[in-house]
Amino acid sequence: MEQAWWKEAVVYQIYPKSFLDSNGDGIGDLQGITSKLDYLKELGVDVIWLSPVYQSPNDDNGYDISDYCAILEEFGTMDDFDELLAAVHAHGMKLIMDLVVNHTSDEHAWFAESRKSKDNPYRDYYIWREGKESGPPNNWGSFFSGSAWQYDEPTGMYYLHLFSKKQPDLNWDNPNVREEVYSMMDWWCRKGIDGFRMDVISLISKRPGLPDGIVPSGAFYADCGCANGPHVHEYLQEMNRRVLSRYDLMTVGECAGVTIEEAKKYASLDGKELNMVFQFEHVGLDDDQYGKWTDRRVDLRALKRVLSSWQTELSKTAWNSLYFGNHDQPRSLSRFGNDDPKYRTVCAKMLATCLHMMQGTPYVYQGEELGMTNCPFGSIEDVRDIESRNAYREFTQKGICSEEEMMRLIRLRGRDNARTPMQWNAKEHAGFTEGTPWIMLNPNDEGFHAEAQRRDPDSVFSYYKRLIALRKKRDVIVYGSYELLEADHETLYVYTRSLGEERLLVICNFSEQKTAYTVPEAFRGGSVLIGNYKREQVPEEVCLKAYEALVIRRAG
Ligand code: NOJ
């Protein structure tokens, strides 16, 4: 398989608002990030993905951009950004930016023009329609509750917003929009950034005629059916020709609704579109008729089935990105593992082993390397996220659940779980800020902060360091083929990786029960490459401890 730096890289995602506050206003900022590059270098990551830092009224924490070429004031200045970029490069790392171009903020200059009149030159930058029978043009729902359409007084028409009403969708069918986006991307590339994570890029091409969708039972609106729309590949190929192919970049598309077949187009190894996609199948396994607002747990057999089909089907034709968590998902340890204090450390290490030993580019979400967990938000007043707040209002007003029940679900599934401040040390507010943090800290930070964990060879942090370093040393981890064993086992996730003569056996116990496992003959007498319990010998019959992870290597 052709080698590439972005296949060998480990990416660390920073959610700037919650990373480190350098000026005491309670909000993380760019200078805070610059001051922590040694920490990231020590962890061993190669690429930093910055969630949006552009000018924004912050309706959706920066995913609503009002100026793509300016920095949000509370994060700092363009000089701070330039300093950060230079410092990242001086540390031998790379920086990729969030590219949010499915929509802008309603405070973007293009939209300010667009809404003025029907014949404004910017009118067609967005998606405007007449209403139907005094209601919206179709039955699509917004991902943040309610209709996906907003009536706008000045011209008496509706505009489309798949997210909040302050995030109007751009009209990608308009070539001028595409030109504007490409020239803005080019501007950032010329600054020297190393790539883009493309926000909901699978949604940019809307179906012609914007037809009504089917409203699922229990839901109020239809899915827009915009995923993988008719021109999405054409537009990405154009973007690739015009911008991406001219620089040495890493690109990852956030692709809600992507199937394996579609992913092979987005992330084909022929390099015509993107390097890789974020797929959503494994993080949708615990959804039900109300979408994410449920307390279902992921069934391990389903998780294995989904991840394994992505592993094997993309092999040799496209490339995977590997993630269990990010700023939109609950904490991976609480969701896929067990955050009980008794198991927290060992389970965080097990999940990391399971993910980082797969084929693809792994993403570490800030705090995951410390074993951060979901947060016990008390009431809706503690919650900042627009998605959770809107869903809370909708579900409680429509009588789907009580306020207590909805808070319970938000504590399990809400996005703010991943957005509580990074835990740096034992000082007040875990060293995140000297002011008042914009969102509560997770109260269970004791011992789960960077300062303590850097010193402790048995910490989650030290384990991540070892895992990441291993990937650098062993090509089999990056390029080896993947095979699932024990597909029907309810609590063990077992797979092999093979490259030439080298083979690895990865065994992860997803339960607190001790579990016996017979090591396949080929791996008997192999050596332990890494594991989260002390174990030197590999017996024929191994009794895995609670949440044990074990990687056995057989060479030649
Ligand atoms: C996906 C982003 O990751 C999420 O945080 C955001 O709310 C939506 N896209 C809208 O931009």
Q: Is 254 noted as a catalytic residue in this protein? A: yes
Which CATH number applies to 7-104+175-378+416-466: 3.10.20.30, 2.10.70.10, 3.30.70.2740, 3.20.20.80? 3.20.20.80
387 CA → ligand 1 middle, Å: 10
Q: Take residue 347 and report the two structure tokens written for it.
A: 């389970």
Indicate the pTM of the whole model.
0.98
**Which residue has a Cα nearest atom 2 of ligand 1?**
199
CB 210 within 8 A of CB 150: no
75 CA → ligand 1 middle, Å: 19
Catalytic member of 21, 254, 369, 385 = 254
Domain ranges for the chain: 7-104+175-378+416-466, 109-160, 379-415, 480-553
- Please give the helix or strand (H or E) that residue 482 lies within, else none: strand 481-485
Q: Which residues, in sequence order, are CB contacts of 299 under 8 Å at separation 6+?
A: 285
pLDDT value of residue 525: 87
CB 437 within 8 A of CB 20: no
pLDDT of 457 strictly over 80: yes
| Mean pLDDT across the chain | 97
CB 206 within 8 A of CB 133: no
pLDDT of 211 strictly over 70: yes
Question: Is 381 exposed, middle or buried, given 0-12, 13-18 or 19+ CB atoms closer than 10 A?
Answer: exposed
Can you name the CATH fold of 109-160? Oligo-1,6-glucosidase; domain 2 (3.90.400)
pLDDT value of residue 556: 61
63 CA → ligand 1 middle, Å: 6
Q: HSE-up of 470 (CA within 13 Å, CB side)?
A: 22
How many angstroms separate the CA atoms of 199 and 252, rounded? 9
**Which residue has a Cα nearest atom 6 of ligand 1?**
63
How many angstroms separate the CA atoms of 262 and 65, rounded? 28
How many angstroms separate the CA atoms of 280 and 266, rounded? 14
298 CA → ligand 1 middle, Å: 23
Residue 494 CA: distances (Å) to CA of 14, 50, 440: 31, 33, 38
Arithmetic mean of pLDDT, 10-19: 99
98 CA → ligand 1 middle, Å: 10
Is CATH 2.60.40.1180 what the domain over 480-553 is classified as, yes or no?
yes
CB 505 within 8 A of CB 520: yes
Arithmetic mean of pLDDT, 273-297: 96
Residue 391 CA: distances (Å) to CA of 18, 90, 255, 348, 383: 23, 44, 22, 29, 12
3 CA → ligand 1 middle, Å: 31
Pocket test for ligand 1, best of 14, 17, 51, 60 (most atoms within 8 A of CB): 60
CB atoms within 10 A of CB 291: 15
Atom of ligand 1 nearest to the CA of 100: 11
How many angstroms separate the CA atoms of 272 and 288, rounded? 36
Pocket test for ligand 1, best of 64, 199, 321 (most atoms within 8 A of CB): 199
The pLDDT-based confidence of 536 (bands split at 50, 70, 90) is confident
How many angstroms separate the CA atoms of 297 and 315, rounded? 28
Pocket test for ligand 1, best of 145, 162, 163, 283 (most atoms within 8 A of CB): 163
Arithmetic mean of pLDDT, 70-75: 98
Atom of ligand 1 nearest to the CA of 162: 10
Instruction: Fill in the amino acid letter for 240.
Output: N
Q: At what angle do helices 386-397 and 403-413 cross, to 10 degrees?
A: 150
Ligand 1 contacts (CB < 6 A) are 60, 63, 100, 163, 199-200, 254, 327-328
Pocket test for ligand 1, best of 100, 103, 197 (most atoms within 8 A of CB): 100
**Which residue has a Cα nearest atom 11 of ligand 1?**
63
Strand 527-531 versus strand 549-554 pairing type: antiparallel
Looking at the chain, the whole-number percentage of residues with pLDDT higher than 70 is 100
Arithmetic mean of pLDDT, 360-369: 98
pLDDT of 134 strictly over 80: yes
pLDDT value of residue 537: 84
83 CA → ligand 1 middle, Å: 26
Nearest to 365 by CA among 319, 415, 318: 415
Atom of ligand 1 nearest to the CA of 103: 11
Chain center to CA of 64: 17
Catalytic member of 21, 152, 194, 199 = 199
pLDDT of 217 strictly over 90: no
Looking at the chain, the whole-number percentage of residues with pLDDT higher than 90 is 96
pLDDT tens track for 74-118 = 999 999 999 999 999 999 999 999 999 999 999 999 999 999 999
